[in-house]
Structure 1
């Protein structure tokens, strides 16, 4: 079990990092502006589960394997970037809803899809792979027990903190969503903004390289 001081410093560092708008914040906010609070919260849950996949991969050493293999890393990177680009294209092809019609948020039939999109986006995010490899080891003390168990504890703390902060961004985004959905101009602009967010995230994923990772001594 990690020392309490290490847990506290890790929690503080994670909170500071996650409060800074990054890819997850852009993704959740974009989903919320597009489909409302329910979609934003579902995306938050999906992203958290994607982070759990990354944590488990780090625990069993898969992240290290991917980061050490140029081919494996490239496969993950290109698949993740293609998926994000496809989400952007799909949003561009979706017609704008009628602002005079009754507003609805994330129909139940789409719940699984919204959740799975978030899960896949984070599970295939090479930046998350590099992050867990570079950030977690700095807080691990080999004298406090098995490395895998400490990695799991720190990773789950990060997942929970991320889920809370992303949920906060989703709730903030829902305020704008509710006040602006009756505007035809907003609906037209919002479609391109959301699609642009997905394309930006796709480009950022493509720009990720193994040189971004600096393994601590």
Structure 2
């Protein structure tokens, strides 16, 4: 449907990326720990809105660029595969952080400002835009009838899964009533597992025939 292929692999990869600790999860957990789960959910909604902006911008831009050139789409996919391999190397080289991560001390804010904070944290992060441009096209067939629609569908699936994870994280953190303490060993294992998956994915995409 929509020229999408390898959807289960896309979902698994996206879930691993959402689970992996980063600025977004740090903000959600900190707000939940300091102001309760509703504050964490507000941050989550802001982050997901920012992600939606990246998805729509990338879909429109990619569609305009590739509308008349199948070759250009193939080039984008190959460059994206190389970027995925580059990310994998960085993840595999990760080392255990020294000590537990200290909690961020944040002043209490109205939910609308927390939403805005989550939105800006995500929408102003260029790595998010690069990720979508590199990752999502790998799962769109070169002969897809509407590449922009396929991009939006995949992006929304990724965003929905991310919203579910961040929402659960907000509730769990608030109920635990703890400051942020990410287990260094778990974080390292997760990064290396994701890195291994990305190595396999990048090589598979680089060597396979274009769909």
TM-score normalised by the shorter chain: which range applies?
A: 0.5 to 0.7
> Stretches of 4+ moved more than 4 A in 1?
91-94
Matched, 1:171 2:185: no
What is residue 76 of structure 2 aligned with on the other side?
none
CA distance in 1, matches of 2:169, 2:42: 13
Q: Which residue is equivalent to 1:37?
A: 37
> Which one has the bigger helix percentage?
1
CA RMSD of aligned residues (A): 2.9
Residues 121-177 of structure 1, C-alpha deviations (whole Å, 9 max, x = no match): 111111101111111111111223221111111111111010001111111110232
Structure 1: runs of 5+ lacking an equivalent: 66-90, 95-105, 181-189, 195-213
Match of 1:11 in 2: 11
* Aligned partner of residue 142 in structure 1, secondary structure: coil
CA distance in 2 between partners of 1:139 and 1:5 (Å):
5
CA distance in 2, matches of 1:165, 1:3: 27
2 CA distance for matches of 1:4 and 1:122?
26
Residue equivalent to 2:121: 121
CA shift, 1:33, in A, is 1.2
CA separation in 2, counterparts of 1:160 and 1:93?
27
**Aligned equivalents of 1:93, 1:149: Cα separation in 2:** 39
Aligned-pair distance for 1:2? 3.6
Distance in 2 between the 1:159 and 1:141 partners?
21
Whether contact under 8 Å (2:31, 2:43) holds in the other structure is yes
Match of 1:152 in 2: 152
Give per-residue Cα distances to partners, 1:5-59, cap 9 Å, x unaligned.
5222211211122122222211111111121111001111110001000101101
- Corresponding residue of 1:87: none
Query: TM-score, normalised to structure 2's length?
Result: 0.60
Q: Distance in 2 between matches of 1:112 and 1:22?
A: 22
Residue in 2 aligned with 1:130?
130
User: Do 2:18 and 2:165's aligned partners in 1 also have CA atoms closer than 8 Å?
Assistant: yes
Q: How does 1:26-175 map to 2 (within 5 A)?
A: 26-61=26-61, 94=107, 110-175=110-175
